[in-house]
Amino acid sequence: MTIIVTGAAGFIGHALTRALMQRGEHVVGIDNLNAYYDPALKHARLADLGTINAGHFDFLELDFADHGALEAAIAPYKLTTIVHLGAQAGVRYSIDNPRAYVQSNLVGHLNLLELARHRDVRQFVYASSSSVYGNSDTVPFSVDQRVDHPISLYAATKKADELMSETYAHLYHLPMTGLRFFTVYGPWGRPDMALWKFTSAILQGKPIDVYNHGDMRRDFTYIDDIIAGVLAVIDRPPADDGAVKPGGSVSPHRLYNIGNNQPEPLGRMIDVIEAACGRPAIRNLLPMQPGDVYQTYADISAIQGDLGYAPTTGIDIGIPRFVDWYRSYTGS
């Protein structure tokens, strides 16, 4: 079958494409290789995909917010599944550049929905985010709780994507699965994420900015555990049977949290990085930043019960793996 993966040069998109190719799939990857962070890393991920001697990979460099370019580029392919991971990422950047989020995360999402509808795909899988839970004090976060109070534009666009997807599942009986990812980390990760920033600074002997004086908790989820969950979702589309799905829909649309189900204090995360780097951090303690949330904590019972999802990698294993990769990639 032919699977579209948007954001194929991104962190999760690269890892998913790699896994799909290794099991023999034909993947059509889409990415515009924008400069939100250094495109050299995106090119390196694409080069890594070129080393896989299995499956087949076609790469299309385009902006999926341009519906004409998207539809023309995809026209030759017979599609079975779309996995829409591409988006303008970053909570804090959404405060500085809101229009980029509307264009990529709203217009782009609609374009992919329309493509899925007209090409009669088997399933449309898309990336949502744990940020939709905002500052909820009901933990762990469940897909069945209301998420009506986003505290960043990024979170608002992800909630809007879920609502648009529900509409398409209802109107066109298009099987849909939305995935609320929780603080994904690991080799080939993103430079705008705390793990990369902290590792880089610690290795260079520079201070790190620690927000809310370190009093935050995150459900850090290792990339291999994320990909295991996404593959399970791809292989088991939701049924159009009128039954209530995770997230509350009676259409063929379900929502899953993909997390580690084990929030870690930010201070302990830094401790593990220090141990992996072999040197102490210089901690610059600061107040909470606008748009940040105090904690994330995934209730994974829905995906666990439906698909057998079971994360296996804690930060004591995952963070040293990232640090080893980072040193190899950067030569530091």
Q: Could you read off the pLDDT of 86-132 as tens digits, one per residue?
A: 998 877 777 788 898 999 999 999 999 999 999 999 999 999 999 99
- Give just the sign of the alpha carbon dihedral 225, 231, 235, 236: positive
Beta bridge partners of 125: 83, 177
Name which of 125, 37, 45, 35 is nearest 80 in CA terms: 125
Token pair 């995909």 in the structure block, residue:
49
pLDDT in tens, 173-186: 999 999 999 999 99
> What are the DSSP calls for 132-189, one per residue?
GGTT--SSSB-TTS-----SSHHHHHHHHHHHHHHHHHHHH---EEEEEE--EESTT-
Tell me the pLDDT band of 221, cut-offs 50, 70 and 90.
very high
Tell me the pLDDT band of 290, cut-offs 50, 70 and 90.
confident
Taking the C-alpha atoms of residue 26 and residue 55, their distance in angstroms, rounded to an integer, is 6
What pTM was computed for the model?
A: 0.96
Neighbours of 280 (CB within 10 A): 12
Q: Among residues 93, 101, 126, 154, which one is catalytic?
A: 154
Of the two residues 1 and 55, the one the predictor is more confident about is 55
Query: Is 172 marked active-site?
Result: no
Domains of the chain: 2-184+222-261+299-312 (3.40.50.720)
Q: What is the DSSP letter of 54?
A: S
